[in-house]
Structure 1
Amino acid sequence: MTRPVIGIIGNAHLINDQYPAQAVGSMNMDAVSQVCDAVPVMLPADPAHVSVSDALSLCDGFIFPGGRPNVHPHEYGHEETEAHGAFDRARDALALPLIREAVARGVPVLGLCRGFQEIAVAFGSTLHPEIRELPGRMNHRMPPDGTLEEKFELRHWVELTDGGPFARIFNANRVFTNTLHGQGIDVAGPRVIVDGRAEDGTAEAIFIEGAPGFALGVQWHPEYRAAEDPTSRPLFAAFGEAARATRIKRMVA
């Protein structure tokens, strides 16, 4: 059997600050090929180039990775402010309906950082633009200086629900993770189950209640050294198995 195909949603990018391009981080491709044992395929984050039906016919699972632009607050009924930062409306227009349809069909989805927020918003959650401004919260943002290793350094524990899907994947009730985000879930949607929280109460791991397939998101970046990290590896391995099962179903249908 050929390996499953996992679509990774791209990010709009300017080469040399002027040439428009779509890009996917090598870390995400490494995690898919090395840990999921799947074929990574970049999907342009723009419905002008790929439709939801195109993506679903091509891929056995989807990763919604991090990205500097944030989900536009209009997607969850809030007004835009300066604190919300930059946006990518084309990615919003593809990612949110793709998440909903993939989950409805039982096609595996895994959200990472912005992708975690996309899954949350797709199912009715709201976001706070700067969680570090909330009483008792820590600064979850990426350190502004330092090497790549220092930026992705493990920085806090995530406490997991006993017996929940993440505790089963990790075979542990808490994991140590990096943190590189400014926004966070404000109010979770009715089907968005917070299954893991940072020490300050920030939602860090979610799943979609009643989803017929793998529908999980994490607020951290497990793609960093995914093949080596004891938390990242089982997460991507479980996602890869779900994508493999989807491919088998497609082949025998």
Structure 2
Amino acid sequence: MARPVVGIIGNSYLLNDQYPTHAGGTMNSDAVANVSGCLPLLIPADPRYVSVAELLEVCDGFLLTGGRPNVHPEEYGECETAAHGDFDRARDAITLPLVRACVERGQPFLGICRGFQEVNVAMGGTLYPEIRDLPGRMNHRMPPDGTLEEKFALRHIVSVTEGGVFHRVFGAREVMTNTLHGQGIKTAGARIEIDGLAPDGTPEAIYVRDAPGFTLSVQWHPEWDAASDPVSRPLFAAFGDAVRDWAARGTGPVLQKTG
């Protein structure tokens, strides 16, 4: 029996500083294939090559990955500054309408880091350009040095809502996560339910309220060590269940229907 297809949003890179590519971390594919139990399909997130309508037909669900470029502030009504960093307007042009279409259709997606921010912006929210510059906030950025294991190491607690959707997925009210982001939610978009917070109050887990499908998104990187991490594994397993449900029946999972 064919596995359902998860479209993994790719990022644009220059290989060796001169060869343009679309790429995706192998840990994303590994999590989708071996934990969610779905077929990973890397998407060149650029409207010159793909359309949202085509992606909705080809894929059963979507993984909105992390990435170094940020959502352009014009997408949430603000002006570009140096603090906003690099951008990928082509990815913005695909992912933001894709999120809105999936919410409307009930088609499942899982947002990670930049993908988490895309979900908030797609629903009308705004972002801080640099969390660590805010009073009382910690530095959520990736450590600049060290091995991958050190960069993706667990660094802080995320507290989720008692009895909420993430509590049901994790089976715990507090979980340990890594943290590798500079930006974060400033104002929550319409229907965005903030369901998990870092100790400094930074939103870390969200979903779209009253959406008919799976819309869970996290600010950390659960794709790292997803097969054995006690937080990542149930998250990707729940996402895989939602994608299979969509592929079989074209409807979202029961899990998302209550907040």
Per the TM superposition, whether the score is higher than 0.5 is: yes
2:219 partner letter: Q
Correspondence for 2:5: 5
Correspondence for 1:104: 104
Q: Deviations over 1:126-155 (max 9, x none)?
A: 000011111110000000000000000000
Shift of 1:189: 1.3
Percent identity, aligned pairs only, is 65
**Structure 1 residue 246 and structure 2 residue 246: aligned?**
yes
Shift of 1:103: 1.3
| Secondary structure of 1:186 counterpart | strand
1:226 partner letter: A
Shift of 1:228: 0.8
Shift of 1:241: 0.2
1:245 partner letter: D
Correspondence for 1:198: 198
| Secondary structure of 2:54 counterpart | helix
Distance 1:190 1:86 in 2: 26
TM-score of the pair, normalised by structure 1: 0.98
1:123 partner letter: M
**Structure 1 residue 43 and structure 2 residue 81: aligned?**
no
In the alignment, structure 2 segments of 5+ residues that lack a partner are 251-259
2:55 partner letter: A
Correspondence for 1:236: 236
Distance 1:53 1:160 in 2: 34
Aligned length: 251
- Regions of 4+ moved over 3 Å: none
Distance 1:142 1:208 in 2: 27
Alignment root-mean-square deviation, CA = 1.0
Q: Deviations over 1:83-104 (max 9, x none)?
A: 0000000000000000100111
**Structure 1 residue 62 and structure 2 residue 55: aligned?**
no
In the alignment, structure 1 segments of 5+ residues that lack a partner are none
Distance 1:171 1:212 in 2: 22
| Secondary structure of 1:96 counterpart | helix
| Secondary structure of 2:234 counterpart | helix
Q: Deviations over 1:190-221 (max 9, x none)?
A: 21110000000000000001110001110000
Correspondence for 1:119: 119
2:175 partner letter: V
Distance 1:203 1:210 in 2: 19
Shift of 1:47: 1.0
Moved more, 1-10 or 196-205: 1-10
Distance 1:174 1:104 in 2: 31
Correspondence for 1:145: 145
| Secondary structure of 1:146 counterpart | coil
2:169 partner letter: I
2:18 partner letter: Q
